[in-house]
Amino acid sequence: MAGIEIAKVVKAYGSVPVIHGIDLSVRDGEFVVLVGPSGCGKSTLLRMIAGLESVTGGTIRIGDRVVNDLPPRDRDIAMVFQDYALYPHRTVAENVGFGLRMRGADAMTIEKKVKEAAEILQITHLLDRKPGQLSGGQRQRVAMGRAIVRDPKVFLFDEPLSNLDAQLRAEMRVEIKKLHQRFGTTIIYVTHDQVEAMTLADRIAILKAGHVEQFATPDEVYRRPRSTFVARFIGSPSMNIVPARIAPDATTITLDGDAAVPAPASFARARGRDVLLGLRAEHLGLAGPDGVPARTVIVEPLGSDTLALMQIGRVEMTGRFPPAAPLRAGGDVTLRLDLEQAHLFDPETGLAIV
Amino acid sequence: MKLLRNRRAMIILAGLIVAANGFFPALWILFTSFKTEVELMRVPITIIPQAPTIENYIRVFVDQPILRFLFNSVVVAVLSTLLCVTCSALAAYALVRLRLPGAGIILSVLLAIAMFPLISMMVPLFQVMRDLGLLNTWWALIFPHAVLSMPVCTLVLISFFQDIPRDLENAAMIDGCTRLGALWHVVIPLTAPGVFTAGILAFVNSWDEFLLALTLSPRVASRTLPVGITLYQGEFSFPWPIISAALIVAIVPICIVIAIFQERVVSGLTSGGVKG
Amino acid sequence: MTSRFTRRMAARLGLAAGLALAGAAYAQAQTTLRIFTGGQQRPDVMRQIVDGYMKANPTVKVEVEVGGATSEQQQQYLNTVLASKDSALDLILIDVIRPAQWAAAQWAEPLDAYLGAEKDAIMARYLPAYRAANIVNGKVIALPYFADAQFLYYRKDLLEKHGLQPPKTWDELKAAAQKIMAAEGNANLRGFETAGAPIEGTVCTYLVPLWGSGEDMLKDGKLNLAGDAAKKPFQLWADLKAANVTPPNLAEIPTDRIRQNMQAGNLIFGMTWGYVWNRLQNDADSTVKGKIGVVPLPGFTADKQATCIGGWQVAVSAFSKNKAEAAKLARYLSSPEVAKQQAILASHLPVFPGVYTDAEVLKANPWFEQALPVVQSARSRPVTPRYTEVSEIMRTNMNAFLAGTKTGDQALGDMTNRLGAIFR
Amino acid sequence: MSDAIRHRLTPLEKSERRLGFAMLAPAFLLLAAVVLYPIAELIRNSFHFNHLAQPWMGTPFVGFENYVKALGDDRFHEAVLHTVLYILVTVPGAVVIGLGLALLANQPFRVKWPVRLGLLLPWALPLVFAGLIFRWFFEYNQGIANAMLRGLGLEPLNWLTSPGLAFFAICLAIIWKSSSFVALVLLAGLQTIPKSFYEAAEVDGATKWQQFREITLPMLRPAIFVALIFRTITAIQTFDIPYAMTNGGPGNSTETLAMYIHKTTVDFLDLGYGSALAVLMFIVSAVITSLYLRHTRRDPGRH
């Protein structure tokens, strides 16, 4: 097991840079998720760690070795690919044991380890089949079996669940988490799904256009997003972000030139400024007559609670309400905005104002 | 049920058409090989031999050391096929996967080789083989035969290699393979039909090749079948019945090769699942 | 048990003895000569002959290398070897049309020096046509090995049945063929065939009637196709075709098809080479055994009959490393004894007039008596280093004419044009 | 700065590249050993007078004289024309027939080997002999073609001695012989098309013809390309079959470029001129091939 140290890593294809100097320090045994929209460079970064892409600049260390120039086989890593990349001409057992065989393990050891791995992943009954005869979830398990059997220093996952349906995805998420708990191996996991990121990660690295926007624990990125990008990306529904202006004396905040709402004391840090106000859905609530007047636009009952899109003056915000809340589309309500929990961002840079 | 039976019938019909197209000249040779020359010359013509004789086959084996020719042909074809497929597979893989500068130009050069008419290169080719001391050895044919088929094999393999998902190789490399290991353990097995096709192309090209064999390996001990078969003909005469018998002897090994390989290829195919 | 043991022992001893013998032979053989022959010039007989030579000359080892069967294939190989100036071959059997080309290409070692003072005496013994064919610009390029010629094969039985003599002129041939075809009423019976496919033999299809009119293609080395005589061959074949004496597919007929048709009893007259006689006479399936005669080919008048010569010569390679020994062997191969041996073993026509009348030879080949006058009247195709081009021009034009894609005048015109560029 | 990025290869990339060239090395070593010198000789010869039957003329350098001669040589023009006609007829012919055979052979047969064998036999038969067999089929008296005509009460035809029919007969033989190679390549291509595509199309209600047009043909494109390019290259070099069937006759009416080169070098021993013809033929092939290659490089249809 080992930590991973990524320092000033740059990647360019020809003269087109796609990753501009990333620094990331992954602790030994940590589960780090790289998340971001497609094209942000998360897969490229993963492949650079794996050795499948060359490193244009900077260094990548696994443990205390600089691996920039090591071929994949010498990095002691295992990887699970998005489309599993199972060898179609080999049986499940052969697939799982392939890496051991390539590293010269003897047949006895291979068989033993393959069996162990199969038991952990509950694929013992599939060992003699070929990948073509398996379902998506089964293939996923085989792909993971192939990774864990080698007991590598680092696991790399490249959007491993994106080909599965929602239920299987949730199931596999749990499996992966269990595996991590069981083996404690360092994991780097790429996904574009923030739910996966939040549920799995010890720490999340949110990537945007080739650089790290924020690298922190799920709680941290959720509660203290460094930028509107992170704020919008993490959490479901997305954080409401609306333009606002804080009065020079910081006692009130005006949402888009309309309703003036009393501001909490902490807003003094941005007194007299145009800001972007970020407010998560759960921080909207129904209020008495002294609340902010709003109109319900759309109601989405989820069972456990109800989401509703609210029109407040000229801005729209989504709120999360108890299932029994008396909401109907087109109805007028008054809202309580829990501004103590709100985030302020600079409208120019999108960065949080702290 | 009826639909099913019809489908069966259609499939059988399809098979018959392919077989008939391929077999009719072979059948003609087969029938002719049991005829006498007089019967062959008869007007109106006969298709099935009226008075079958195995005399022609006896002549085939008595008049010329055809088993020796057969042996030479097998050795030359097998070795040149192995050489050709090995070189082609390596080159094709390099061109497909390892971002080489000028890959297009390299491919064009390779193809260009195939376009020089062999006939006009015989004299210098002979000199090369003489200077290498290879004349009248199997190698004098193995090397040029391998070169002859290399462009087509490379192109066939390229088109197959392109279809293999990169991640399969990546997985293999992470599992501990070198590039070559990934080629050998993953790419080649998965492109078995393509490799087989390339191999069969190379094998038959070598098996049929006449001009080089005539010139570079003219001694009896190293002569191959196509040249050997022409020895049954005369300055003026062309004894079809005997030559037919000799052709049958020449074709049978190819049939055996196909029969042997065909199972392997089919099993390679059905395991599939690359894209599934 | 013991018997097996002794047998194995004996086998070992035999092997040892064989090795010893081989070793001894190797120690003695100071010179190895390799002779190249086509598959069709009876390499088996050649081997017997050189075996005799090796017995008489124990210091020489002769290997017979057999090339492709057709002269095309041999040429392909020989051109490659000789253009590379390769010394692998010491002696080579070449077609009678080749000496001029070989002399020009300097592939053949002139033999004058090796024949020495005896040169004229030696050359005088051969049939005149072979003497002429093998001396190019005064130098002896090769020595004749065996002779060949085109004959008019005819159905003795049918001619006798209808009270006809073998024809001496083309008119007689046409009349005889028409008469027999009409009288026999056999739809498969044809009057006359000669080679018409684009092959070497078709050159003679033009030349023989040309000679038969008393003219030749070259006069003092210049092309001589301007006169009316040059048109006569075209007129002749057009005439025979119109009269249904020749088949409609004459343009696809290769040499051996004539033999096959004759052998099947479907042909009255055939113009073809010496090998046919034996096949007609001796093949198990021949329907015309004892019914065949040979005479010289007709002329337009009886005094102008002429025939194409063929046959094979021994040349010494200019790149041989053992020219003196090779020349000695060549002289041996081109001797009356060997000619006689070949005549008896392979029915090869001798190049010495005297051998035709040898009793043993005649016993093996009674027809040699009729063949001699034909061979004596035989003439050479044009002697030029660029003969292959000449031949190609003549045969393709003749073939196009016979196929009906060119008229006689067009064919002659094209022929003259292209030949003119060669015989400037 | 971007230049610095572009030109610096990481050691990993360098080793990949080294490996790439190492993998190309065997092929190129083999090529160099076998054909490098012959091709250099060929090109050198084409700029010299070199007529083995006229060695007294020496082998002087003549510049482009041989090429100029070719441009004014009627027989060369005719041979080129015939070759082009053979290409135009036999390449599409062989591809269409080959595709048909491949489709037929791709059925789920219970017994596969007779079909496989039938597919391969034409190709396994040495070219020269295929030519000779077809020559026999079209022979005037003993040929099957005329036997059938006679059987139908028709007049037999001079298949091999009239230019149009001879061309037809030769094309038929070439197509028969070469469609086998095409079918083999296409069959291999067909077998890599996943069944699921057809199942999906079936569900979508596509007819067999639509499935063929929308799935089979597009998926087969790389294979068809390989077959086309090689069929064309071999068609440019068409030699054995017309050589065996008509030897270029009647007259020179079925003579191809390769046959003319063969005659010039092997029969006439005119190495200089023959080499120039060969180089011209190579240039034509190269142009056609590069057109093919460019076409496919532009082709966005892959995957």
- In tens, the pLDDT along B149-161 reads 998 899 888 888 8
C220: confidence class by pLDDT, cuts 50, 70, 90: confident
Share of chain B above pLDDT 70, in %: 92
What is each CA distance from B163 to A52, B177, C54, D216, D283, in whole angstroms?
19, 20, 66, 15, 32
The interface residues of chain B toward chain A in range 104-133, judged by CB-CB distance below 8 A, are none
Copy the structure tokens of residue C37.
């022959």
Identify residue C276 by its one-letter amino acid code: V
pLDDT of residue B108: 82
Q: If you average pLDDT over every residue of chain C, what do you get?
A: 89
Q: If you average pLDDT over every residue of chain A, what do you get?
A: 90
**List of residues 6+ apart from A324 with CB closer than 8 A:** none
pLDDT of residue D135: 87
**pLDDT tens for each residue of B83-99:** 999 999 999 999 988 87
pLDDT of residue A205: 95
Report the candidate in D72, A282, C171, C200 with the shortest Cα–Cα distance to residue B235: C200
pLDDT of residue D209: 86
Whether residues D113 and B108 touch (CB distance < 8 A) is answered with no
pLDDT of residue B262: 63
CA distance D173 to D168: 9
Would residue C377 count as lying in a domain?
no
Residues C133 and C156 in one domain: no
In this prediction, the residues of chain D whose per-residue pLDDT falls under 50 are 1-6, 298-303
Whether residues D247 and C385 touch (CB distance < 8 A) is answered with no
Q: Is the pLDDT assigned to residue C16 strictly greater than 80? A: no
Residues C240 and C127 in one domain: no
**pLDDT tens for each residue of C181-205:** 999 988 889 999 999 988 889 999 9
CA distance B241 to B244: 5
What is each CA distance from A328 to A281, A309, C56, C414, in whole angstroms?
17, 11, 126, 102
Q: If you average pLDDT over every residue of chain D, what do you get?
A: 85
Q: Give A-chain residues touching D9 at CB under 8 angstroms.
A: 54
Residues C11 and C142 in one domain: yes
CA distance C204 to B223: 34
Q: Is the pLDDT assigned to residue A24 strictly greater than 60? A: yes
From A102-106, A309-313, C203-207, D291-295, the region with the lowest mean pLDDT: D291-295
pLDDT of residue C245: 95
pLDDT of residue B4: 57
Q: Is the pLDDT assigned to residue B274 strictly greater than 50? A: no
- Residue A151 region, left (φ>0) first, then alpha (ψ -120 to 50), else beta? left
User: Helix or strand or coil: residue D191?
Assistant: coil
Residues of A with CB under 8 A from a CB of D: 10, 12, 14-15, 17, 51, 54-57, 68-71
Q: Give D-chain residues touching A69 at CB under 8 angstroms.
A: 10-12
**pLDDT tens for each residue of D63-97:** 999 999 999 999 999 999 999 999 999 999 999 99
Mean pLDDT of A273-281: 92
Residues C297 and C164 in one domain: yes
Residues C122 and C167 in one domain: no
pLDDT of residue B191: 83
What length does chain B have? 276
DSSP string over A195-244: HHHHHH-SEEEEEETTEEEEEE-HHHHHHS-SBHHHHHHSSSSPPEEEEE
pLDDT of residue B268: 42
Copy the structure tokens of residue B89.
């597979």
B201: confidence class by pLDDT, cuts 50, 70, 90: confident
Instruction: Provide the residue range defining the domain that includes C192.
Output: 151-307+386-422
Are D273 and D70 contacting, i.e. CB atoms less than 8 angstroms apart?
Answer: yes
**Residue of chain D whose Cα is closest to the Cα of C82:** D52
What is the β-pairing status of strands C378-379 and C307-316?
Answer: parallel
pLDDT of residue A125: 93
**pLDDT tens for each residue of A30-55:** 999 999 998 899 999 999 999 888 88
Would residue C89 count as lying in a domain?
yes
How many contacts, defined by CB atoms under 8 Å, are there between A and D?
32
Residues of C with CB under 8 A from a CB of D: 75-76, 79, 83, 101, 104-106, 197-199, 247-249, 251-252, 385-386, 388-389, 392, 396-397, 399-400, 402-406
Copy the structure tokens of residue C11.
């086998």
Q: Give C-chain residues touching D249 at CB under 8 angstroms.
A: 197-198, 251-252, 396, 399-400, 403
**Residue of chain D whose Cα is closest to the Cα of C106:** D55
Copy the structure tokens of residue D152.
């139908």
ipTM over 0.85: no
The verdict on A50 touching B (C-beta cutoff 8 Å) is: yes
pLDDT of residue A83: 86
CATH number at residue C178: 3.40.190.10
The interface residues of chain B toward chain D in range 173-192, judged by CB-CB distance below 8 A, are 179-180
The residue among B34 and C28 whose pLDDT is bigger is B34
Query: How many C-beta neighbours within 10 Å does residue C248 have?
Result: 16
Are A275 and A353 contacting, i.e. CB atoms less than 8 angstroms apart?
Answer: yes
Q: For domain A4-233, which CATH number applies: 3.30.499.10, 3.40.50.300, 2.60.120.860, 3.90.1490.10?
A: 3.40.50.300
CA distance B74 to C230: 54
Q: Is the pLDDT assigned to residue C50 strictly greater than 90? A: yes
**pLDDT tens for each residue of B127-144:** 888 888 888 889 999 999
Q: Which of A71, A83, A88 sits opposite B271 (nearest CB)?
A: A88
CA distance D51 to A165: 77
Would residue C227 count as lying in a domain?
yes
Its sign, for the CA torsion A113, A115, A116, A122, is positive
- Residue C85 region, left (φ>0) first, then alpha (ψ -120 to 50), else beta? left
The total number of structural domains that make up chain C = 2
Whether residues C66 and B231 touch (CB distance < 8 A) is answered with yes
CA B259-B263-B268 angle, to 5 degrees, is 140
Whether residues D162 and C403 touch (CB distance < 8 A) is answered with yes
Identify residue C299 by its one-letter amino acid code: G
The residue among B115 and D251 whose pLDDT is bigger is D251
CATH number of A240-345: 2.40.50.140
Q: How many Å lie between the alpha carbon of B31 and the closest alpha carbon of chain C?
A: 19
CA distance C223 to C200: 20
What is the β-pairing status of strands C31-37 and A284-286?
Answer: unpaired
Whether residues C83 and D271 touch (CB distance < 8 A) is answered with yes
pLDDT of residue D1: 40
Would residue C181 count as lying in a domain?
yes
pLDDT of residue C157: 95
The verdict on D53 touching C (C-beta cutoff 8 Å) is: yes
D65-296: CATH architecture: Orthogonal Bundle (1.10)
Mean pLDDT of B258-272: 53
Mean pLDDT of C369-383: 89
**Residue of chain C whose Cα is closest to the Cα of B119:** C76
- Domains of chain A: which residue ranges? 4-233, 240-345
CA distance B251 to B27: 12
Copy the structure tokens of residue B65.
């050391």
Domains located in chain B, CATH noted:
1-53 (no CATH), 63-273 (1.10.3720.10)
Report the candidate in A85, A1, A178 with the shortest Cα–Cα distance to residue B174: A85
Q: Which of A17, A51, A69 sits opposite D5 (nearest CB)?
A: A17
Q: Is the pLDDT assigned to residue B267 strictly greater than 50? A: no
